[in-house]
Amino acid sequence: MMRWTVVIAYYNEEAFLAATLDSLAAQTVGRFRLVLVDNGSTDASPRIARRAMPGVHVVHLSEARPGKIFALEAAMASIETELVAFGDADTFYPPHYLATAEAALERPGVVAAMATDVPEDAGKARRKRRHNRIVSRLWPKQTHTGGFGQTFRTAALKAAGGYAHRFWPYVLMDHEIMERVLRQGRAVYPYDLWCIPSPRRSDRRRVRWTRVERLLYHFTPSAAKGWYFHRFLGPRLARRNATHLNLREKTWEKG
């Protein structure tokens, strides 16, 4: 019986998608379900996504509405397994990735196991993993992982409402959804749960929050995190037009 669904939404990722799929095909957990959502690609990504992947049950979806939140929302109905992982189309996942997350999600009360994004340099990667372990213990009721490395118990994710535009149409969706999921249980950050995103994403100006917003996020009590996102941060992001469509802008490809 398959325990895992992996969701990858993609938009014009022909330079990276094949390597990401190769890394997922090498997972040690056995057969799993892979949901690939084409979010209106105009390059060769859809053809690459349809390459043969022995041992993987692949589901191909297409979401015409532009924006990652719509692609993830379209995938929610196809998540039928006990565990689910969300990843990015330009990220390397080591062979033990799902197995490590599975062991963590079997701990009592754990509803989310979150990966650390690391660089290829081994020494820098170890330091980043140690840092993530420390900060996650200091602030256990918030997220320290982006959408490239989130894994959940499906029941908890769906009880929280899952990814949906009606809840959060802005950037930082990976942070907002954790506010809802953490009402269902706790998140852990296993030291051995890591992945290597593409190094290209250096320009984050269109998808980040201000220093004041981030500091307030850290120090807002967990019981008030709903207020923080929906009464404080959401209106500020709306005024800056910092919607999920900003995630679609590949600013590193310009100029």
More confident residue, 55 or 6: 6
Each residue of 179-205: pLDDT tens digit? 999 999 999 999 999 999 998 755 455
Q: State residue 101's pLDDT score.
A: 98
Over residues 165-170, mean pLDDT: 95
Q: State residue 199's pLDDT score.
A: 83
Average pLDDT score, the chain: 93
**Beta bridge mates, 120:** none
pTM of the entire predicted model: 0.93
Confidence band of 208 (pLDDT split at 50, 70, 90) = confident
Each residue of 233-242: pLDDT tens digit? 999 999 999 9
Give yes or no for a contact between 90 and 147, defined as CB atoms under 8 angstroms apart: no
CATH superfamily placement of domain 4-201: Spore Coat Polysaccharide Biosynthesis Protein SpsA; Chain A (3.90.550.10)
Taking the C-alpha atoms of residue 179 and residue 226, their distance in angstroms, rounded to an integer, is 7
Cα 12 from chain centroid (whole Å): 18
Confidence band of 252 (pLDDT split at 50, 70, 90) = very low
Count of Cβ atoms closer than 10 Å to residue 94 Cβ: 18
Is it the case that residue 20 has pLDDT exceeding 80?
A: yes
Each residue of 25-69: pLDDT tens digit? 999 999 999 999 999 999 999 999 999 898 899 999 999 999 999
